[in-house]
Every structure is written in C-alpha cells, then in structure tokens.
Chains A and B, each alone.
Chain A
C-alpha cells in the first residue's frame, strides 16, 4: 500500500537543500508530514524494509542516497527484511 505522505517527503528530499536540512534536523522536517507514528519511527531508525512496503522503490533509493547510506548497506537492509 502506497503511503502518500511518506512518498511525498521522499520526493521533496530529492532537493539538495531539503536533504541537507533533513540530515541536520530530522524531526523538524518530519513534523511537516502527517506520518503514522510507526512510519515516522521507521524513518528515524532507517528501517529500509518497513519503508519499502510503503513507497515506490526508486523514491526509497533516492531517499537513502540523499541521507548518505551506501548502496551496499541499503541492499543488505532491503534483503534482510
């Protein structure tokens, strides 16, 4: 099931200034999106496999690239589910 607001946040964070703001203060950015508490927590914990079930795979990859996660770690977390 697609989570619109999670996807919207990932979409918005493709902009480098927005991604920088997120890296500096995750809570401040998260407050702008009406996310379910479990989804917000998953973002804070970099819970890749939980988020993968709720958004487009390309947006998921762009988000974790923007926050600085290496592809190797991203793939491992996707597979470990």
Chain B
C-alpha cells in the first residue's frame, strides 16, 4: 500500500527568476531559505512520487479546450517552455504513469472527471519551486493542473475535495510507494489587470491564519475576497488541494513575505500529516 508522506506549498512567479539578482538582499535570503527549507522537508519525506499541483500558464491549453483539472499520466513530461527558464536543469521530467492512472481511475470512481494528458509542458508554475528547492535528484512528478487562469474556475470546496480524493487514492494504491503533494502558486498577486503589482498583505495573512484555524471559514473568506484581491490569488486553489490531502489539518507556515519586485505575496508552508 502506498503512503502519503507530505504536503507542501510554495509560491511561484516569473520574476523569481528574471529579477532574482535585482532583489533586495534580505528578501533574496528569506526566499532562498523558504524554498530550501521546503526542499529539506520534501527530501526528508523521501517521496517516490511528487504530485505537483499548479495552474497551466497557457503552456498546454488554449481557449479550444481549458480543462478544470488535468492529470499528467505520461512516462515523461517536458521541461518549461518559457525562454527565460532555459537554465532549469531538466528538459524532461519523469512521471509515474501507473500511479497517475490509478489516481485518475479512483477519481472517476469517486465522482471526479479530470482530463488526462500523456505529455505536458511543465511551465514555471511547476518548475520554479522544484528549481529553487534544489530537489536533486527529482522524484517522479505527477502534474495536476488546476485551472486558476481562465474563468470559469473550479470552485474552492471542489479543490479541497480533490485533495481528500488524492489522499484516498494514495492509500488504495497497491505498490508501497511514498507520495507527497506540492501545491504551487499564490499568495496574492495581480497579473495583466489594472491592479497589476498589488500585493494584498492583509488578505494573505488572514488566509494563512485561516489555513491553521477553520476550513469552512477559510472557504467562506476566500469566496468573498478572491474576486477583489488579484487574479493571481486564485492560485490558492492549489493550496486547498494540499490542505484537503492533509485532511484539513496540520497547516504550518514556514515563511511569508510580500515581495514587490516579484509582485507576489510569497508563502511557504507544509502540513503535519495525521500519523
């Protein structure tokens, strides 16, 4: 039987790469330390498979077909297509087709209908955290794309339910592999809209508090606040998937800092899983 050995979350953002050298030294050190601490925790959990929950930033899907959720079931996926991600050390990233297909089949049995892809381009949303966490060698990555880019978006409670579905699927997998979940994205940011550049620190801090306090309050708060706190903040859906996988408990903030040069409220977190 497989086991769920960890749940983690980290922000991403193109400027974490493109503006890295221009960041104030104290912020650079805290970001580096946040990513590396999560890298240490993930390495300590020794996952054979890392389910990475991220949006697709128009790398795979266009308006012809925008899945709410897509799971990568391929033997391998491609590294990031963005030219400024050229230095990322992996052009191909191994998947785990048997486990990924199990995840999909169990989801279908459980009333979820994900799209599947046998080959995805894993853009900066997936690869910046993996890169900055210095996870070498990389565990096998099963990508789970959750649409937070092009409305209509999956509802927040559905994302939590997805996390719980993942946890059930892990323990029903016959092989004794170790599986962890890494959510990427958020916290607040605004892209390509008049508020671009805004970071809503109060929103971020309350969201963080509620992750540690009350799931129902968290969902109510996000439902109310997300529409007016930056389109990039919608990526908190991925954190909800990780929260659901952890059973809605055990949230632990590693660090949070608003980084104006990166235009993202950057958060790092992990969950203590039930024994």
Contact = CB atoms under 8 A, between A and B. Distances in A.
A48 B193 CA distance: 10
Contact of B83 (A4, A11, A16, A79): A16
Interface string B75-119: 000000101000000000000000000000000000000000000
Nearest to B149: A58
A61 B192 contact: yes
Interface stretch (B40-48, B55-63, B156-164): B55-63
A71 B196 CA distance: 9
A57 B58 contact: no
A2 B63 CA distance: 10
Contact of B191 (A4, A7, A57, A79): A57
B63 A58 contact: no
Contacts of B83: 16
A60 to B, nearest CB: 4
A59 to B, nearest CB: 6
A81 interface: yes
B149 A75 contact: no
Contacts of A56: 58, 149-150, 192
A11 B62 contact: yes
Contact of A81 (B58, B81, B192, B194): B194
Contacts of B149: 56, 58
Nearest 3 Cβ contacts at the A-B interface: A57-B192, A61-B192, A60-B192
Interface of B: 57-59, 62-63, 81, 83, 149-150, 191-194, 196-197, 231
Interface of A: 2, 4, 7-8, 11, 14, 16, 52, 56-62, 71, 74-75, 78-79, 81
Given A58-B57, A61-B192, A61-B196, 15 more contacts: A2-B63, A8-B62, A11-B58, A52-B192, A56-B149, A56-B192, A57-B191, A57-B192, A57-B196, A58-B58, A61-B191, A62-B58, A75-B197, A78-B193, A78-B194
